[in-house]
Amino acid sequence: MSIRTTALTGHETGTRALKVWFAVATVAAACAAASVAHADTIYTRPNDGSTARLSDPAATQETQNAYSFIKTRTSKGSSNMILGQHMGGPGEMNQTSVSFDMPTFRIDSATNGRHAYPRLIGARYDSNVGKDNYLLDAGLIDQINTRLIEVSNIYHPIVAITATPRNPWHQASGRDYFDGQGPLGQLAYANRATGPAKLFWDEIDTIADGLAKLKTADGKPIPVLFRPFAEFNTGDKYYGPNSNPQQNQTQHPQEFVALWREVANYYVNQRHLHNLIFTWEAWVWNRRHDEVAVLGPWFPAASSPTDKLWVDVVAGAFYFDPVDPRFSLDFTNDPVPNDEKVFYSLMNLAITNNKPFGAAQWSVNYTKPGEACVQGDNRNAQQFMTSVDNRHYVATPTTQHLSFVYYWADDNNGYCMSMNRQLHSTEFADDPRVASITGIDAINTESGRVVESKDGGTGGQIQQGLPLRTGDTVLNRQVKSVLSFDTSSSTLPVNAVLSDAPASVVLKKNLASDAMPTTLADLGIEAAAVLGASTSLALDDFNAIATMLPGRISDPKASYRGQVAYGQVPSANVNRAGRTQLRLAFKLATDGNGAGNQIDWVGQTTSGPELILSYTLPNANP
């Protein structure tokens, strides 16, 4: 028997509780009569996207799993909105900035020793590099991929990519209109041999080459929330309606739809990319032109039961000012009359076509390049989440549930708009509706190094705290390190359900000159709830019984910055009843050369080494 309710509770002042579809007494009686225990309450509405299927029937299992996680957020009462963060693009590759560095976007939890990271991260392949230099470059794409792959291997987020060919009639215009360009029909694949169509499809191949290289450490394609033809309705893109009265060329929706279909089909069936989740996005706020207020004609809806939709997610770009009544969906004094029309047109497309919905671009403090940064407030993000759900979990929904928000930020505005730079970030990250990645600090007083005794095989000396050390001494005695993490309900919610993805222990070499010894084989990881007789660092931690984990600690020189190392900890080895303790040791105890081959370790941040994991919460009312 399926019981469906929508008993959600708001978190902000003035937020009203949502009504329950069925009387509580009726639900209780039905459950009692059936003698069935329901662990989760299911919050579903017709056409809410939770039953959607990927356009690509041959999508990899990992891609299906990622899509399932996205689309089922609408049927959850907790962990129902994925926290996302844009990390950069071509413009950040030549800078020593904070881009693509996950600790840059870390938010401290109110729980001591716990942190939140974005569960959705990504980049764009095409963008300005400097002033008036819009690039889609294979070399820069490779650099972007290198960074995304490292983040993916450690944190296991969902990855988002934005990529569109430059204007094939005038590539220096980037994605903008160029006076005198032609209609989109000229770009049909049948015309690929010459002219603008050749330039267009050559850059489609550049994008496809980049997407094909996004693979995990074991060679599996990384699932990608893929956003082509972004912001088509802004009135200035070569592939959308033109709002410039000085230019008489505009594009027609039927040609846009035809090109979208042809491009998607090409990626999947000719380039064999089976890791794509196609995301159709429209810019929502501040659209002043009637030609972009009604979005339906631009949506590649299926014209027959056998026709492919080639859209998996419907998305919007939402750039709010720090003080904006539209956080509560109040359009009463909206200076842009089309905003309400565009918003509900977009929502109608998601509902009508049974697609999950997300904010593929998001900001609570929109800041243009060069403008002074005005801090926003993440309570406004919570308010928008609640406002949307208040119109979704009703008898006749007018909105689709918000499955993710993807904070947009790059070096153009100094990462001013990133999620962790706003007020009340901790409150936002700790909101049980928000699905993020969790980092847990090692307990410094229970972590440290253990040096082998002179007689061999047992511990002879301990040193508490950082830096850790692994290797051997000049006396050919092995040095092991111990890391202790609190993974109990003191740190993680008691009802947290760990994801299937492995946890990761993340380290950084202590000094730039440090290097992995080449004579001691792999640096392995062992795990136990408690090493030795107690949780404290002790001599018996050296040879206490533990489970050898698959894999190894990576070599920092393999990191794109040459510093970070990590190892995988299967979720089954994370002890939810107390401590999770790890022991790091090279497979070979010593090379016997008396040279003291060692490497010292600290954490990526001053808080020390971390255990990175993901979890979701069951559907108790948030």
Domain-wise residue ranges, the chain: 61-435, 441-616
Tokens representing 524 are: 């392995």
Query: Residue 533, Cβ neighbours under 10 Å: how many?
Result: 10
- Local structure of 33: helix, strand or coil: helix
Annotate 317-338 with b (16+ C-beta within 10 A) or e (fewer).
bbbbbbebebbbbeeeebeeeb
Task: Check pLDDT > 50 for residue 140.
Answer: yes
Tokens representing 508 are: 């950084």
- Local structure of 148: helix, strand or coil: helix
pLDDT confidence bin for 169, thresholds 50/70/90: very high
Distances from the Cα of 553 to the Cαs of 105, 507, 544, in angstroms?
Answer: 24, 9, 20
The two beta strands, 126-128 and 107-108, are unpaired
- Among 96-105, 220-229, 436-445, the minimum mean pLDDT is found in 96-105
First to last CA, the chain: 24
Sign of the Cα torsion 526, 529, 531, 532 reads negative
pLDDT confidence bin for 447, thresholds 50/70/90: very high
pLDDT confidence bin for 39, thresholds 50/70/90: very low
Task: Check pLDDT > 50 for residue 36.
Answer: no
Compute the distance between CA of residue 317 and CA of residue 295 in angstroms, rounded to an integer: 14
Tell me which residue of 342, 390, 544, 554 sits closest to 462, measured CA to CA: 544
pTM beyond cutoff 0.85: yes
**603-610 average pLDDT score:** 95
CATH class of the region 441-616: mainly beta
pLDDT digit string (tens) for 70-84? 999 988 889 999 999
Helix axes 138-155, 195-212, angle to 10 degrees: 30
Q: What pLDDT shows up at residue 77?
A: 85
Output 325-330 pairs: Cβ under 8 A, ≥24 positions apart.
326/285, 327/364, 327/380, 327/381, 327/383, 327/384, 327/387, 328/383, 328/384, 328/387, 329/384, 329/387, 329/388, 329/391
Task: Check pLDDT > 60 for residue 19.
Answer: no
Mean pLDDT of the chain: 88
Tell me which residue of 368, 360, 361 sits closest to 414, measured CA to CA: 368
pLDDT digit string (tens) for 516-545? 999 999 999 999 999 999 999 999 999 999
Compute the distance between CA of residue 154 and CA of residue 566 in angstroms, rounded to an integer: 7
Tokens representing 232 are: 């088509």
Q: What pLDDT shows up at residue 243?
A: 67
Domain 61-435 classified CATH 3.20.20.80?
Answer: yes
Sign of the Cα torsion 434, 299, 137, 413 reads negative
Q: What pLDDT shows up at residue 13?
A: 30
- Residue 552 buriedness (CB in 10 A; 0-12 / 13-18 / 19+): middle
Tell me which residue of 456, 437, 548, 546 sits closest to 496, measured CA to CA: 437
